[in-house]
């Protein structure tokens, strides 16, 4: 009888220990899954839709063409001129949302930065010379768009919409494409066809002035050797794609009424 009591007591103690309730048990650590990193972000310290610029707006893709990879592509603008840059990055610990972005490639004094993704957005470990330490997710557009003409056919970086997909009434980024061209002779394109999944394609400048090539076959948007050409306010692709260049129209301030004096 005493052996049975001892055996039952030992089993009870073992059960408590394994469940984490005993004196020697360890509470299991639950790691919360990170959200998808692909999408639009804004820097609340500098983005102001009423200013008429994309300054403080960024897009990220973790897809090489349409396949998830360890590589990251960033395109954005943080200057008053509205110029768009692109930089590359990579996951350092994808499970916990940690990555590095090689901003030093911009050669403007901005250092490489380590970031951490969470539901709140992206927290950066250094702010560099511009902006804040946080990028906030932007699920839907918070601004209006207006067609913009090219001032220089060699400066194609910017914000575009594919007219066959994009609808301003849909309140979605579906059909939006961003172009970054500061990795000459390469050009990076990041876009979304549904407003949720963001692909990236790397093309290159052609020998013809204002013309470039890209392989869109992997994302189902064109051929392997699609040629693009700048034309007035759009990029025209030989496979029929039509990307219209856009800007944010500045807010029109109401004119105060004239006070008549007698």
Where in the chain are the domains? Answer: 39-138, 146-247
Among all chains, which residue has been given the structure tokens 């557009």?
141
For 13, the enclosing helix (H) or strand (E) is helix 2-18
For 31, the enclosing helix (H) or strand (E) is none
CA distances from 136 to 38, 118, 130, 231 (A): 12, 10, 16, 34
Q: What is the DSSP letter of 38?
A: -
Name which of 127, 141, 178 is nearest 156 in CA terms: 178
Select 146-247's CATH number: 1.10.287, 2.40.160, 3.40.50, 2.40.128. Answer: 2.40.128
- What pLDDT shows up at residue 5? 43
- What pLDDT shows up at residue 20? 40
For 87, the enclosing helix (H) or strand (E) is strand 85-93
Q: How far apart, in whole angstroms, are the C-alpha atoms of residue 150 and residue 211?
A: 14
- What pLDDT shows up at residue 55? 94
- What pLDDT shows up at residue 190? 97
**Assigned token pair, 209:** 């002035």
Q: How far apart, in whole angstroms, are the C-alpha atoms of residue 57 and residue 78?
A: 7
**104: three-class secondary structure by DSSP:** helix
For the full predicted model, state whether its pTM sits above 0.85: no
For the chain, 262 residues long, give each residue's pLDDT as a single digit of tens. Answer: 444 444 434 444 434 344 443 445 566 666 678 999 999 999 999 999 888 899 999 999 999 888 888 999 999 998 777 789 999 999 999 999 999 999 998 888 889 999 999 999 999 986 554 556 899 999 999 999 999 998 887 789 999 999 999 999 999 999 999 999 888 899 999 999 999 999 999 999 988 878 999 999 888 877 788 999 998 899 999 988 999 999 999 875 444 555 555 4
- What pLDDT shows up at residue 2? 46
């Amino acid at each position: 009888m005493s052996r049975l009591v001892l055996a039952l007591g030992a089993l009870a103690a073992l059960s408590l220990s394994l469940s984490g309730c005993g004196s020697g048990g360890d509470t299991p650590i639950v790691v919360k899954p990170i959200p998808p990193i692909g999408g639009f972000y804004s820097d609340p310290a500098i983005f102001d839709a009423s200013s008429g610029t994309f300054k403080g707006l960024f897009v990220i893709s973790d897809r090489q063409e349409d396949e998830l990879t360890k590589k990251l592509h960033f395109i954005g603008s943080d200057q008053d001129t509205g110029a768009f840059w692109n930089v590359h990055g990579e996951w350092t610990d994808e499970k916990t949302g940690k990555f590095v972005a090689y901003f030093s490639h911009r050669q403007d004094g901005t250092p490489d930065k380590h970031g951490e993704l969470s539901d709140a957005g992206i927290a950066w470990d250094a702010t560099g010379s511009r902006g804040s330490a946080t990028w906030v997710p932007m699920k839907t557009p918070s601004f209006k768009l207006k067609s913009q003409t090219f001032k220089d056919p060699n400066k194609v970086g910017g914000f575009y919409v594919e007219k066959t997909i994009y609808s301003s009434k849909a309140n979605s980024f579906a059909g939006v494409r961003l172009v970054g061209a500061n990795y000459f002779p390469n050009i990076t394109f990041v876009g979304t066809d549904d407003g949720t999944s963001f692909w990236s394609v790397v093309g290159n400048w052609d020998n013809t002035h204002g013309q470039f090539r890209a392989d869109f076959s992997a994302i189902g948007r064109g051929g392997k050797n699609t040629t693009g050409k700048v034309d007035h306010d759009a990029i025209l692709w030989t496979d029929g794609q039509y990307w219209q260049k856009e800007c944010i129209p500045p807010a029109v301030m109401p004119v105060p009424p004239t006070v008549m004096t007698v």
